[in-house]
Amino acid sequence: MTIIVTGGAGFIGSNFIFYMLKAHLDYRIVCLDKLTYAGNLSTLAPIMGKADFRFVRADICDREAVDGLFAEEKPDIVVNFAAESHVDRSIEDPGIFLQTNILGTQVLMDTCRKYGVKRFHQVSTDEVYGDLPLDRPDMLFTEETPIHTSSPYSASKAGADLLVMAYHRTYGLPATISRCSNNYGPYQFPEKLIPLMIANALNDKPLPVYGEGLNVRDWLYVEDHCRAIDLILRSGKVGEIYNIGGHNEMRNIDIVRLICKELGKPESLITHVTDRKGHDMRYAIDPTKIHTELGWLPEMRFEDGIKKTIRWYLDNRPWWEKIVTGEYQNYYRKMYGGR
Ligand code: NAD
Ligand code: TYD
């Protein structure tokens, strides 16, 4: 079994590769990644050179490169994690989001058709459903919730999802889609809420909370997401969408306070800054379908997962310190300087 994993040098893709190589000793994984600012080859260093793993640097939008790799590898399955993934960056500069997230997905699917790949899996997000009101805890995103996007990021992911469903219906592409809530865990780029707050707190820097910090996200430990995708690849039905989430809604401000507490840092580091434009209020997944049809349940409790994640950032300072110096400084000044 050969699986091409795109975006495998990023946060979830790398965790997925580690998970799959451990769970299926007879699988071979080929990682295709452009190594944008978010891709980090040092994450994959422990498996480089192993017989069941190959890394190829390429852009999913590069038809020739993608075709060449499929011709060589004849993959059974393609799992597409490759994406521009940060909402704030999409607000600053939407173009690359449309390019990679929509057109890149098209290139992958065309190539899957050409080589008769048995499954194309699109890793999508709950953000395609837009947001939910804070005062309606009874409302959750199901697979039937209409697409209603807020940011250029979520619109580009929704565009890709629609294209995947169109390729399934029109060409019979054997495709599945998963829509997961916010992930946390090791190897997450420190521009996202949890690693950014951990890194800043460890450096005694201000913790920039957008607005009042009352926005709610539904947090899932990354390995639970990886296990769900593995299950969909093996038992999911083609043409189906599966929501993934663990009923773990938290307000941003409570997460940041928890990080302060765990690290023994004062809450006076918390700084309320200008809110994100179009900021989604609340995400909350109804995972009934994947639970009843495929038997998936999350295994990591948030209390344990957040401790484990903080421990990982403490133990792996060189990994993220390399990132928060250099080019990242320019990004940080641009995004947070005038807020
Ligand atoms: P990430 O930004 O950490 O990693 C993205 C990876 O894709 C990087 O390695 C990058 O180099 C690569 N990449 C970007 N453009 C590429 C291109 N044109 N060609 C090849 N590779 C390219 O993202 P992540 O948080 O790991 O998210 C992975 C996927 O999961 C994304 O599709 C995202 O929409 C989805 N998702 C993320 C979350 C979350 O909480 N992080 C939740 C639900 C869904
Ligand atoms: P983020 O990690 O960017 O994920 P997403 O926007 O895709 O859910 O942000 C999570 C939440 O944290 C979101 O409500 C925005 C908020 N946030 C802050 O308050 N400050 C920050 O510096 C960042 C990056 C995010």
Q: Is 336 helix (H, G, I), strand (E, B) or coil?
A: helix
Q: Is the alpha carbon torsion for 333, 261, 126, 4 positive or negative? A: positive
148 φψ region: left (φ > 0), alpha (ψ -120 to 50), beta (else) = beta
Asked if 310 and 260 touch (Cβ cutoff 8 Å), the reply is no
Rounded Cα distance, 44 and 38, in Å:
13
Q: What is the pLDDT of residue 339?
A: 84
pLDDT of the chain, 339 residues: tens digit per residue = 999 999 999 999 999 999 999 999 999 999 999 999 999 999 999 999 999 999 999 999 999 999 999 999 999 999 999 999 999 999 999 999 999 999 999 999 999 999 999 999 999 999 999 999 999 999 999 999 999 999 999 999 999 999 999 999 999 999 999 999 999 999 999 999 999 999 999 999 999 999 999 999 999 999 999 999 999 999 999 999 999 999 999 999 999 999 999 999 999 999 999 999 999 999 999 999 999 999 999 999 999 999 999 999 999 999 999 999 888 888 899 999 988
Residue nearest to atom 25 of ligand 2 (CA): 193
Q: Closest-lying ligand to the alpha carbon of 197?
A: 2
Per-domain residue ranges for the chain?
2-187+219-249+281-304
C-alpha to C-alpha distance for 226 and 14, rounded to whole angstroms: 10
Instruction: Report the pLDDT value the prediction gives residue 325, as an integer from 0 to 100.
Output: 86
Q: Is the CB of 180 under 6 A from ligand 2?
A: no
Report CA dihedral (63, 59, 185, 29) to the nearest 10 degrees: 60
Compute CA distances 96 → 108, 148, 156, 266, whole Å.
Answer: 17, 21, 10, 38
Ligand 2 centre to CA of 200 (Å) is 14
β 53-57/28-33 pair status = parallel
For ligand 2, what atom is nearest to the CA of residue 86? 3
Instruction: Using the Cα atoms of residue 145, residue 147, residue 151 and residue 156 in order, give the sign of their dihedral.
Output: positive
At 130 the pLDDT is 98
Calculate how far, in angstroms, residue 191's C-alpha sits from the geometric centre of ligand 1: 13
**35 CA → ligand 1 middle, Å:** 11
- Residues found in the chain: 339
Amino acid at position 106, single letter: Q
Assess whether the C-beta atom of 207 lies below 6 angstroms from ligand 2.
Answer: no
In the residue annotation, 171 being an active-site residue is answered as no
Cα–Cα distance, 20 to 18 (Å, whole number) = 6
CB 133 within 8 A of CB 282: yes
Q: How far is the CA of 13 from the centre of ligand 1 (A)?
A: 7
| Closest ligand, as measured to the CA of 213 | 2
102 — alpha (psi -120 to 50), left (phi > 0) or beta?
Answer: alpha
Q: Is 190 in the pocket of ligand 2 (CB under 6 A)?
A: no
Kindly state if the Cβ of 198 falls inside 6 Å of ligand 2: no
Say what the pLDDT of residue 228 is: 99
| Token pair of 172 as six digits | 């019979």
Q: Which ligand is nearest to the CA of 285?
A: 1
Sorted by sequence, the CB contacts under 8 Å of residue 324 that are 6+ apart come out as 190, 199, 203, 332
**Closest residue CA from atom 10 of ligand 1:** 39
With beta carbons less than 8 A apart as the criterion, state whether 34 and 2 touch.
Answer: no
Whole-number pLDDT of residue 86: 98
What fold characterizes domain 2-187+219-249+281-304?
A: Rossmann fold (3.40.50)
Tokens linked to 50: 């192993």
Mutate to test the pocket of ligand 2, among 97, 129, 210 (most ligand atoms within 8 A of CB): 210
Catalytic site includes residue 161: no
> Does the CB atom of residue 55 touch ligand 1 within 6 A?
no
| Ligand 2 touching residue 215 (CB < 6 A) | yes
**In angstroms, how far apart are the furthest CA atoms of the chain?**
57
Our answer to whether residue 127 is catalytic in this structure is yes
Place of tokens 């580009």: 156
Query: Could you tell me if the CB of 217 is within 6 A of ligand 2?
Result: yes
| Least distant ligand from the CA of 121 | 1
pLDDT at 53: 98
Encoding tokens for residue 301?
């409790």
Q: Is the CB of 231 under 6 A from ligand 1?
A: no
Q: How far apart are CA 286 and CA 331, in angstroms?
A: 35
For the chain, the average pLDDT equals 97
